[in-house]
Structure 1
Amino acid sequence: MPGDSIPGDAIPGDAIRGEVRGTAPVPLSVLDLVTVGKGRTASQALATSVELSRLAERRGFHRHWVAEHHSMPGVASSSPAVILAHLAAHTRRIRLGSGGVMLPNHAPLVIAEQFGTLEALAPGRVDLGLGRAPGTDGATAAALRRTQTLHEGDDFPEQLAELTRFLDDDFPDGHPYARIHAVPGPVQGPKGRPPVWLLGSSGFSARLAGLLGLPFAFAHHFSARNTVPALDLYRESFRPSAVLDAPYALIGVSALAADEAAEARRQVLTGALSMLRLRTGRPGLIPMPEEAEAYEFSLAEREFVSDWLGNVVHGTADEVREGLDALQKRTGADELMLTANAHGGDARLRSYELIADAYGLPELG
């Protein structure tokens, strides 16, 4: 299949496999959507991301990823590479990465240059997670790509192979790009580049990641019904590679802890209402808890919200721990990447602190 040359140079396993700390069954990480709440600004949301990255590093979370979204008022993460460079300047140890960059929106050379730059800024700390969805609606995707002809990710394996060649600087002699170098990159020495992850919410990327021997991240937080089938397909398809000798899968999980269960429910309802509006073509800023509580849901909307919240692990810290442990056991995930969707930054920061305490994650200073 396309992309047989992937991966290139071996990447140390500890750049992928996380270290388990405290009493967590697997490493815990952070997925940051850089949410913008009503009455708040993008500047405040990005400042919260810096606070979150420092908190995650201090409390022993393994990674902090940000995700590419476009034309969505409730998020401020349209430029992952820019945000990651900012986070790298404010942290020292935690792994930083994209969860993910939507490869069809970009030329592979541009991504290789951006993440080569990040690797040069924070050597050994950068992950390159790639998705094949646009991260937006069709009209915005067309504006991003400057074409009305969208491939819907059909050429993703070819794009991935090209990107990896740029990252490894190893196009074969005679290839049209053999004399093109992604810089910063291996041509400047020393060799080394971010590990590539494939992201997905269905079976396509799961199978491709398995065949290529790459780590896989599944979006359980918005495609929960497909989680176990996709992970099974990944493991069944897996072929050992220079990167991994065994499958490694993380799942993104919506999780929010609060000091009281009622407060946790109040906070996650804002995310549910925001998602309802997005799915019905009315995207906006994340509503305040008071607005979500006062909203008059129709019967169909109540069913949507109930279904959505059924996949959000929320409650007190002990209740969230119990829910995360059960989910990890059911899926066999090698890592849990937690995203806390709420209106304000304080609730999100408090949630990660409570979860760290529940698992006995150490204060690392």
Structure 2
Amino acid sequence: MADTGDLRGAVDAGGAADAVRGTVRGSAPVPLSVLDLVTVGAGSTAHASLRTSVEIARLAEARGYHRHWVAEHHSMPGVASSSPAVILAHLAAHTSRIRLGSGGVMLPNHAPLAIAEQFGTLEALAPGRIDLGLGRAPGTDGRTATALRGGGRLDEGAEDFPRQLAELTRFLDDDFPDGHPYARVHAVPGPVQGPAARPPLWLLGSSGFSANLAGQLGLPFAYAHHFSAAGTIPALELYRRSFRPSAVLAEPYALIGVSALAAETEEAAHAQVLTGALSMLRLRSGRPGLVPTPEEAAAYSFSSLEREFIDSWLANVVYGIPDAVRDGLDALVKRTGADELMLTATGHSGAARLRSYGLVADAYGLPAEGAGPA
């Protein structure tokens, strides 16, 4: 395993500090971004969900959102984002300004060289617009993770994450030292072809491990508040406490993922977020499937334990009419001190998710020029 000093040396070789921070537009207290899970609702298809992702990216770009990320998940029928690099290449072809990235790539599932080449290709396709967010969880269940890793031990990836991160960074910068076994191995596209920028690295997490590592390395940190809200403030405090300035950042920069959905009425918003909550309940109980319809969610007979889970889950979702969502997001920024909010609108309907991002933009007075579907 690489020690922190060796890893910091690798990370410090790259810059891209200006790519991290966004410009606050309208009345938003911090930059707003999009986390796209490419959810697939019952009665729909992956094809339709990917078309919706293009529409969301184009709307987000037109309305002044800072970045649009997609997350790696596997063996989940209701989520069509198993290949972030492929989706990001498609989104890059349909946008021109918004930052695009992974939220994140689960590094233990992949060879570092493969990720360096994928994101080197994305950087060549969309120069200066690509973020590489990295996580150490598998993004799936243990059996699927084992299949992804060719039958390797599941615990090897997470425990080996610092070494993998150092290796990935060396490939991105093409700077393995003389005598290293990979000194003559080059990630292509990459610096071996001439001067080239590389995507800024982000560490993602839902615990203290990545928060502490991101702080020690001076990297930006993204916390998964949307599914681990109880740990948000402790993780952010640990990140800020452990932060050491680097070539990437002079001071901490913390983004949090937030489940948020706006609709014209409270009832319409609740109907959509309940579908996402039921989908998560089924996932947590080993029964993953397509995101149920609002009618199915409304008719579902919850046990007392299931109702407790649903109520707990919805307590951390910001939803309702646009002004209520804006107030909830503002309160979250005040409570956590987050530097950026990344909103994920989870529900059955692609149209409802798209509409939500537009309504949130309206609530914050973000620019309206050219905002329309693909």
TM-score range for the pair, normalised by the shorter chain length: over 0.9
Q: Which amino acid is the alignment partner of residue 335 of structure 1?
A: E
Give the RMSD, CA atoms, in angstroms: 0.8
Q: Which residue of 2 aligns with 1:74?
A: 78
Partner SS for 2:10: coil
Question: What does residue range 297-312 of structure 1 map to in structure 2 within 5 Å?
Answer: 297-312=302-317
CA distance in 2, matches of 1:4, 1:256: 38
Is the CA contact (8 Å cut-off) linking 1:67 and 1:99 kept in structure 2?
A: yes
Residue 12 of structure 1: how far off its partner (Å): 3.4
Q: Which residue of 2 aligns with 1:98?
A: 102
Q: Which of 187, 196, 203 does residue 198 from structure 1 map onto? A: 203
Q: Which amino acid is the alignment partner of residue 350 of structure 1?
A: R
Is the CA contact (8 Å cut-off) linking 1:6 and 1:212 kept in structure 2?
A: no
CA distance in 2, matches of 1:163, 1:9: 12
Is 1:178 matched up with 2:180? no
Q: Which of 293, 302, 326 does residue 298 from structure 2 map onto? A: 293
Is the CA contact (8 Å cut-off) linking 1:95 and 1:125 kept in structure 2?
A: yes
Structure 1, unpaired ranges of 5+:
none
Is 1:362 matched up with 2:367? yes
Q: Which residue of 2 aligns with 1:47?
A: 51
Deviates more, 1:145-154 or 1:327-336: 145-154
CA distance in 1, matches of 2:321, 2:8: 47
Runs of 4+ in structure 1 over 3 Å off: none
CA distance in 2, matches of 1:196, 1:10: 9
Partner SS for 1:275: helix
Is the CA contact (8 Å cut-off) linking 2:14 and 2:173 kept in structure 1?
A: no
Residue 5 of structure 1: how far off its partner (Å): 1.7
Is the CA contact (8 Å cut-off) linking 2:42 and 2:293 kept in structure 1?
A: yes
Partner SS for 2:222: strand
CA distance in 1, matches of 2:299, 2:196: 56
Partner SS for 2:159: coil
Deviation per CA, 1:215-270, whole angstroms, max 9, x where unpaired?
Answer: 00000000000000000000000000000000000000000000001110111000
Q: Which of 35, 60, 65 does residue 64 from structure 2 map onto? A: 60
CA distance in 1, matches of 2:338, 2:203: 15
Q: Which residue of 1 aligns with 2:131?
A: 127
Describe the shift of the 1:353–1:24 C-alpha distance in structure 2 as closer, same or farther (beyond 3 A): same
Q: Which residue of 2 aligns with 1:32?
A: 36
CA distance in 1, matches of 2:48, 2:354: 13
Residue 11 of structure 1: how far off its partner (Å): 2.5
Is the CA contact (8 Å cut-off) linking 2:12 and 2:246 kept in structure 1?
A: no
Structure 2, unpaired ranges of 5+:
none
Partner SS for 2:295: helix
Deviates more, 1:144-153 or 1:170-179: 144-153
Is the CA contact (8 Å cut-off) linking 1:197 and 1:216 kept in structure 2?
A: yes
Deviation per CA, 1:96-141, whole angstroms, max 9, x where unpaired?
Answer: 0000000000000000000000000000000000000000000000
Is the CA contact (8 Å cut-off) linking 1:60 and 1:364 kept in structure 2?
A: no
Is the CA contact (8 Å cut-off) linking 1:8 and 1:168 kept in structure 2?
A: no
Deviation per CA, 1:168-226, whole angstroms, max 9, x where unpaired?
Answer: 00000010000010000011122210000000000000000000000000000000000
CA distance in 1, matches of 2:326, 2:162: 37
CA distance in 2, matches of 1:19, 1:103: 29
CA distance in 2, matches of 1:57, 1:14: 18
Q: Which amino acid is the alignment partner of residue 128 of structure 2?
A: G
Name the TM-score, length of structure 2 as normaliser.
Answer: 0.96
Count of residue correspondences: 365
Identity %: 76
Q: Which of 209, 214, 217 does residue 212 from structure 1 map onto? A: 217
Q: Which residue of 2 aligns with 1:246?
A: 251
Q: Which of 327, 333, 337 does residue 332 from structure 1 map onto? A: 337
Describe the shift of the 1:202–1:294 C-alpha distance in structure 2 as closer, same or farther (beyond 3 A): same
